[in-house]
Amino acid sequence: MTHLPEGWHGDHRRAAAAIVHYTRGDGAGIHAILTEAVDAGRVTELFVSTLAVYAFLLPELRTEQALSYIAAAVERLAAEETTP
């Protein structure tokens, strides 16, 4: 992760911090990370960085079996989704 375009180191830092806050059940920490990203105008970059951090930390999520499982879960969730 050392060859990232300008600004992406901060996005990856925020993504990793958000994952830690989520794992610890720290809603205030998550809110602080989101507020920082909004203030920096980098919400989309935070989202992409979160996916990149997960892919880096959990390479097994990229296997065909995992992708099939995720796709099936998305279909189940979409079928149960209600529109407000």
- Tell me, yes or no, whether 12 lies in a domain: yes
- Tell me, yes or no, whether 1 lies in a domain: no
- Tell me, yes or no, whether 49 lies in a domain: yes
Number of Cβ atoms within 10 Å of the Cβ of 5 = 8
Number of domains in the chain: 1
5-56 pLDDT, tens digit per residue, is 676 788 999 999 999 999 899 999 999 999 999 999 999 999 999 998 888 8
Contact criterion met (CB below 8 Å) for 57 and 38: no
Q: Range of 25's domain?
A: 8-80
H-type helices in 1-84, by residue range? 8-23, 27-40, 43-57, 64-80
- Tell me, yes or no, whether 3 lies in a domain: no
- Tell me, yes or no, whether 15 lies in a domain: yes
Q: Is pLDDT at 61 greater than 80 in this prediction?
A: no
State the chain's maximal CA–CA distance in angstroms. Answer: 42
